Structure 1
Amino acid sequence: MRIGGRLPSRLVLKYYIYQATMTFGFFWPVFTLFLLSRGLSYTEIGLLSSLSAGATVVGEVPTGYVGDRLGRRNSLVIGTVLLVVSLLGFVVVHTFWGFAVLWVLWGLGGAFQSGSADAWLYDALETRLDEGEYTRVRGRGGSVNQWVSAATMLTAGGLYSIDHRLPFIAGALLLALSIPVVLSFPRMGTDPDEDDLTVLDALPIVRERLTAPPLRSLVLYVALFFAIISAADEFIQPIATRTLGLPETGLGPLYAGFTVIAAIASYFAGDIEDRLSTRGAVLVVPVATAILFVVPAFVPLAAFPLFFGMKSSQAVLRPIVSGYINDHVETLGRATVLSAASLVYAVVRLPLRPVVGWIADLTAPIPTTALLGGGFLASAAVIYRWETPASTDEPTVRTAD
């Protein structure tokens, strides 16, 4: 991989290695089936996902503040430990309330990581290389993550067929490898001994950036899109196996397949942004994907292209949106604002997942997915009528005063 025509620096290579370890490929292709095998319904799975989103809502801004105050690396290590503990818990838990505890740990672990990883990368590029390469590096890091995910997904069905617990043990071991990688990251200017951010400083930064143009409509719009992707992701395995007749052993290759497509899409996120502009990419990618949500209601086999579209669109959009937010936030408080944006994403997911699960129990996954796509298109029309997301492609902030 090359960055701006050059071989990637040692710093960027470390970031790529970190992304390679942060994969859920060993267990994700069989995750919903595993939960169903433990006796959970779609409604209960939706409730658990909302509980995780609730933990994210509670934890996002405080964990982002930890990332700004105590250092990005410390925040990433804490998040990884929580994720590993959660995964190991799936080996022994059998009750709804036991799963509820694991979902809270999972939500908090993700909250510790959500803002800090992107903030660390942006600061590192700004300080040592070129922050203008953020979307490209972030996208290619996501591509590395997706390629490793694809490789591990190929083993998911086999591990699951041997013992339902093996995918979670393998996943926990791989995540744990990220800890020494993170500890090797260089310190940035936001580490504890150099950062003067206080809680009183952080809250006005969040309020100022997320309640005014150009971020407020973008964050709301993207939150809705990520929410429908998250809700529909729950239905991939039952649609593939129960509706379209794919054997369970085929789930690993299926997930590996559309993860490869997502890896390619993420690798070219910077090029897509250059071609369409940030504003164009933010419009075209979610709307085109939402249209795919509706098609399987008329042609069930179109669910497979939908799965590919879901994964690739999210892989493209995340680095573009993250880069845009970074461009409009000061270095001081960057992780806090990024975490606050993730909080908005979680707030939107919070009521959606149990409602969608309840609808799927009453009807079926495919019509529920179509309803998600139609609902997003209607919401997007309202948001664009109010205020165009990513209304300017020019950065308004680079560093703190």
Structure 2
Amino acid sequence: MNPAARRVQRVYLVLMLGNTLAASFIWGINTLFLLDAGLSNFEAFAANAFFTVGMVIFEIPTGVVADTVGRKASYLLGTITLSVSTGLYWMLWLWHAPFVWWALVSVLLGLGFTFFSGAVEAWLVDALTVTGYTGSLEAVFGRGLVIEGIAMFAGSVLGGVIAQATNLGVPFLLRAGVLVLMFVFAFVVMKDLGFTPDHSMTPMKATRNILTQSIDHGLKRRSVRYVILSAPFASGVGFYAFYALQPYLLQLYGDTSAYSIAGLAAAVLSLSQVGGGILAPRIRGLFERRTTMMVGASLASVAALVVLGVTSLFWLAIVFLVVWGFVYAVGGPVRQAYLNDMIPSKQRATVLSFDSLFGSLGGVFIQPALGRSADVWGYGTSLVIGAAVELIGIPILLASRRQHDPADTKHVREEQDSSAPAAP
């Protein structure tokens, strides 16, 4: 890897480190925080659903910012929006505010994350291309997952321990502070490389243009379309399971006030993510096609959720929590690389944001439905139902596989080309 590409990768990894550290301060306690504020399970997951509603509403408009103003500008707006809305969340907890205010601030949180979605990933791929990087995207995304896993481990443990030593609100204040630091870092070192912002259109025209491009380069291309259409099922269930496991594991542990255990469980999940990120490129080499690995990871995720839902043993739940996190971390970089290799550079941020939008749609409907099932039948049953919902996305992934897109076997073909003798 040349020095310029190495610098781009370092900046990307620091961005992943800071973003994940900030977010993970609350990952182990977020559901406990909402329940402590007086919300029911249905209301807590409905608040999470309003977060995803915000992502759906603002995904395309903020894509305009990334594609017309710049990826850096989009990232900076995201850090400030998330910092402010996180502070508002803390205030709602202090006041035990009614649900309507949680819904409104959750939409603002969704707005903040839409500034990130697609923009950072597109910034990385474009910058690596212009600096002459010739390695595999899986390797870079895998390293990103490793860094995210390390940050998640540190943040989750600290968040749980700090919450137990102080209260459930302090980790939210820490999150807001780290986001401000990331704003300063990105403002100084992040540069839009390999991409020239288009200022020729008005915001409304740019929004229509981006929506058109999302359809043309996303839904109209079958191999891309089916990957995008499978996103709501895996993402919606993933959102729910991650946050439902917090109170569920404490229930299995036998002490619902052991916040440090909730943080530790999230940290264990992060370690499995580190392992998955490290091994993802190597495991990818065992399969001829990317879609084979993606479908296998989805099936393993479904099986892990079923075991998590039916077990009554805390230690067994921790084991399958690790399995669930590992298969997600293994499949994630492959899915990212598969999509990126099917999307033209100019439309990359647009289509990736469109993919994120569909994933968010799953969270809008699936989270409150599963939250209601937890109120009625318990967390375990809701996880089993979630596994059945995730299973729906697998035939859709297989439809993408049947298109035989060159991106499905790109890594294998590149290795074959590099090992072939030079032409005389």
TM-score by length of 1: 0.90
Alignment correspondent of 1:63: 62
8 Å contact kept, 2:237–2:389: no
Residue of 179, 185, 190 corresponding to 1:181: 185
Alignment correspondent of 2:334: 320
TM-fit CA distance, 1:382: 4.1
The SS at the match of 2:407 is coil
Alignment correspondent of 1:340: 354
8 Å contact kept, 1:125–1:134: no
1:310 aligns with 2:324: yes
The SS at the match of 1:279 is helix
TM-fit CA distance, 1:154: 1.7
CA gap of 1:336–1:8, structure 2 versus 1, over 3 A, is closer
Q: Distance in 2 between matches of 1:18 and 1:37?
A: 31
Taking the TM superposition and a 5 Å limit, the aligned residue runs for 1:99-118 are 99-118=102-121
* Farther-moved stretch of structure 1 (82-91 vs 281-290): 82-91
1:128 aligns with 2:146: no
Q: Distance in 2 between matches of 1:37 and 1:53?
A: 22
TM-fit CA distance, 1:388: 3.3
| Residue identity matched to 2:210 | A
8 Å contact kept, 1:153–1:253: yes
Alignment correspondent of 1:167: 171
TM-fit CA distance, 1:270: 2.6
TM-fit CA distance, 1:114: 0.5
More helix by share: 2
Q: Distance in 2 between matches of 1:101 and 1:163?
A: 24
Alignment correspondent of 1:45: 44
Alignment correspondent of 2:216: 208
| Residue identity matched to 1:192 | P
* Farther-moved stretch of structure 1 (105-114 vs 204-213): 204-213
Q: Distance in 2 between matches of 1:338 and 1:387?
A: 16
Q: Distance in 2 between matches of 1:186 and 1:300?
A: 50
Gaps of 5+ in 1: none
Alignment correspondent of 1:142: 145
Residue of 401, 410, 416 corresponding to 1:388: 401
CA gap of 1:82–1:43, structure 2 versus 1, over 3 A, is same
The SS at the match of 1:300 is coil
Alignment correspondent of 2:250: 241
| Residue identity matched to 1:19 | M
For residues 20-57 of structure 1, the C-alpha deviation after alignment (integer angstroms, 9 at most, x for no partner) is: 11022222111111111111111001211221111111
TM-fit CA distance, 1:236: 0.9
TM-fit CA distance, 1:7: 11
* Farther-moved stretch of structure 1 (342-351 vs 261-270): 261-270
CA gap of 1:257–1:283, structure 2 versus 1, over 3 A, is same
CA gap of 1:72–1:46, structure 2 versus 1, over 3 A, is same
Alignment correspondent of 1:376: 390
Residue of 281, 284, 293 corresponding to 1:270: 281
| Residue identity matched to 1:163 | N
| Residue identity matched to 1:31 | N
TM-fit CA distance, 1:317: 2.8
TM-fit CA distance, 1:275: 2.5
Alignment correspondent of 2:13: 16
TM-score by length of 2: 0.86
For residues 113-137 of structure 1, the C-alpha deviation after alignment (integer angstroms, 9 at most, x for no partner) is: 0010100001011110326432211
Alignment correspondent of 2:414: none
TM-fit CA distance, 1:234: 2.2
Give the root-mean-square deviation of aligned CA atoms.
Answer: 2.5
Q: Distance in 1 between matches of 2:176 and 2:399?
A: 44
8 Å contact kept, 1:69–1:190: no
8 Å contact kept, 1:68–1:334: no
Residue of 129, 133, 154 corresponding to 2:157: 154
Alignment correspondent of 1:232: 241
8 Å contact kept, 2:290–2:408: no
Alignment correspondent of 1:88: 87
CA gap of 1:253–1:322, structure 2 versus 1, over 3 A, is same
Q: Distance in 2 between matches of 1:215 and 1:348?
A: 18
For residues 175-222 of structure 1, the C-alpha deviation after alignment (integer angstroms, 9 at most, x for no partner) is: 222112222112224343788894454333211222231111112223
Percent identity (aligned): 25
TM-fit CA distance, 1:338: 0.6
For residues 151-172 of structure 1, the C-alpha deviation after alignment (integer angstroms, 9 at most, x for no partner) is: 1222222211212221111111
Alignment correspondent of 1:259: 270
Q: Distance in 2 between matches of 1:194 and 1:133?
A: 32
* Farther-moved stretch of structure 1 (66-75 vs 266-275): 266-275
Q: Tell me how many residue pairs correspond in the alignment.
A: 393
1:330 aligns with 2:344: yes
| Residue identity matched to 2:174 | A
